[in-house]
């Protein structure tokens, strides 16, 4: 995952690609679940993608590992980036969501916690 996190620190989304069948994994995976080949190739993907599915969250995981109630519910989207075969889940900063909605990743390259490097998604132009 280091290459993935380092990439986001440079404002890039790096995905792993299976040299056996060509599947592209974002978030990166070490081994392709289709053909069990090591997914050791790397490709840069665009920040844009489409919402595959979404849900509304009413709680979130607090830093101490407990669940805390959210004052306002948050949209959590599963986004398939253009060129990827898998999805990334993150908060969608939009008033509403729809399947197929075009979105773009908002990166926070200066985030202290690697889990915050992908800040959220927002509607793409």
Chain residues binding Zn ion by CB under 5 A are: 18, 20-21, 32, 34-35, 37
In angstroms, what is the minimal distance from the CB of 38 to Zn ion? 9
Backbone Cα Rg of the chain? 15
The nearer residue to Zn ion, 16 or 103, going by C-beta atoms, is 16
Q: How far apart are CA 108 and CA 24, in angstroms?
A: 23
What is the rounded CA–CA span in Å between residue 64 and residue 75?
22
Cβ of residue 29: shortest distance to Zn ion, in angstroms?
10
**Nearest to Zn ion of 34, 60 (CB atom):** 34
For residue 28, the minimal CB distance to Zn ion (Å) is: 13
Is there a contact between 15 and 79 (Cβ–Cβ < 8 Å)? Answer: no
Instruction: Tell me which DSSP letter residue 27 carries.
Output: S
Helix, strand, coil proportions of the chain in percent (round to 5)? 10, 50, 45
Q: Rank residues 16 and 50 by Cβ distance to Zn ion and give the closer one.
A: 16
Nearer of residues 37 and 53 to Zn ion, judged by Cβ = 37
As measured in angstroms, the least distance from the Cβ of 39 to Zn ion is 7
């Amino acid at each position: 995952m280091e290459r993935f996190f380092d990439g986001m620190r440079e404002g890039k989304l790096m995905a792993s690609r299976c040299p056996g069948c060509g599947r592209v994994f974002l978030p990166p995976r070490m081994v392709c679940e289709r053909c069990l080949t090591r997914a050791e190739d790397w490709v840069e993907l665009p920040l844009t993608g489409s919402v595959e599915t979404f849900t509304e969250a009413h709680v979130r995981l607090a830093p101490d590992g407990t669940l805390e109630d959210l004052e306002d519910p948050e949209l959590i989207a599963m986004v398939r980036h253009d060129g990827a075969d898998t999805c990334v889940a993150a908060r969608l900063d939009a008033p509403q969501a729809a399947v197929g909605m075009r979105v773009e990743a908002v990166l926070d390259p200066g985030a202290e916690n690697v889990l915050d490097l992908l800040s959220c998604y927002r509607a793409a132009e």
